[in-house]
Amino acid sequence: MQETLVLATRRSALALAQSRAVRAALLARFPDLRIELKEVVTEGDRLLDRPLAEVGGKGLFVKAIEAELLAGRADFAVHSFKDLPAELPPGLAVVAVPPREAVEDVLVSRRGESLATLPRGARVGTSSLRRAVLLRRLRPDLEVVPLRGNVDTRLRKLEAGEVDAVILARAGLVRLGLADRAGEVLDPRVFLPAIAQGALALEAREGDRRVGGILRALDDPPSAARVLAERAFLRAVGGNCHVPIGAYTWWEGEILAIKGFVAAPDGTSYVEAEARGKDPEEAARALAETLLARGAARALAGWANPAPGGQDSASSAFRPDTGGA
């Protein structure tokens, strides 16, 4: 009997590209398998034009997909790992992490400038809190403007001249076949990427051995361990989608190295550090402790107690990297 798995996917170009690539990789290993794509419109997709702070936070783009899995109407989902909230709903698990794509951010500019050569006051579009904070640190003279929408929409807005440059994940461009659009690749040890950027998460019902057994064929343990460390760091500092946070991990032989930062939403109280360890989660916790000792708590408290009078434009106009892929 031929086995069929239902893959629930968002409809954005990036989500479809990722789902199709995973389907192809699975079919190459299991020639008798059938995989049916089930397109799901998430709340996040319906509200792409509204300020995200108004409509909810992280998870907006995955809830409807997860409901399909929990109800048994679909068997697995392919997510950009960075769009998954720190905690998954009970009953679901990430059962495999395929080999990770590029982790870096790139600057795509209208006239081919780099971050260093953009003219003073140039308008750079991003709705990511993390990218806004890093941009202001490196080029305080630039004007960071909120820019929402899918990757393709953001590139169109750049071409239309709404902004002079945009910052995007290199992985998204590569997966969309637009790698040639990536202008400058930003050094990930300076422009620290989002937690899990460039990685995919194959999510399924916990304990579904039939589905898990198939998906695990695509798991890449070195990629999985890096993402595990980055997410452990996120949880250990108590980060959430309103905190600018980033991390970069790499292997030094058997040792996992992790560099990370946290800042207040307005970019103040920026702290960064590195840690290393044989155990990825221990390295992540060590990094979190160092940062908390160096004042990360202040950065986090900055969000917990926004200034009276609602003067927190950064947090309402910008959002975590989640979403409009």
Active site residues: 83
Q: Which is nearer to ligand PBG, 78 or 284 (CB)?
A: 78
Least spacing, CB of residue 11 vs ligand PBG, in Å? 14
Residue type, 185: V
Contacts (Cβ under 8 Å, ≥6 apart) of 142: 118, 120, 121, 122, 123, 124, 135, 136
15 binds ligand PBG (CB under 6 A): no
Neighbours of 15 (CB within 10 A): 25
State the virtual CA torsion across 165, 170, 171, 172 in degrees, nearest 10.
Answer: 10
CA torsion sign for 84, 87, 89, 91 is: positive
229 binds ligand PBG (CB under 6 A): no
107 binds ligand PBG (CB under 6 A): no
By rule CB under 6 A, what string of x and - marks binding of each residue 22-61 to ligand PBG? ----------------------------------------
Q: Which is nearer to ligand PBG, 167 or 286 (CB)?
A: 167
Residue of 22, 84, 132, 171 interacting with ligand PBG (CB under 6 A): 171
78-86, 211-219, 249-257, 289-297 -> range binding ligand PBG (CB under 6 A): 78-86
Q: Which is nearer to ligand PBG, 9 or 269 (CB)?
A: 9
Nearest residue to 312 (alpha-carbon basis) of 154, 192, 163, 132: 132
CA torsion sign for 154, 24, 196, 107 is: negative
249 binds ligand PBG (CB under 6 A): no
109 binds ligand PBG (CB under 6 A): no
If DSSP codes are grouped into helix, strand and coil, which group holds residue 187? Answer: coil
Residue of 95, 115, 118, 169 interacting with ligand PBG (CB under 6 A): 169
DSSP for residue 273: E
Residue of 45, 68, 184, 321 interacting with ligand PBG (CB under 6 A): 321
The answer to whether 247 and 259 have CB atoms below 8 angstroms apart is yes
Judged by CB under 6 A, the number of residues near ligand PBG is: 14
Report d(CA 277, CA 53) in Å as an integer: 37
Residues that bind ligand PBG (CB under 6 A): 80, 82-83, 151, 168-169, 171-172, 197-198, 321, 323-325
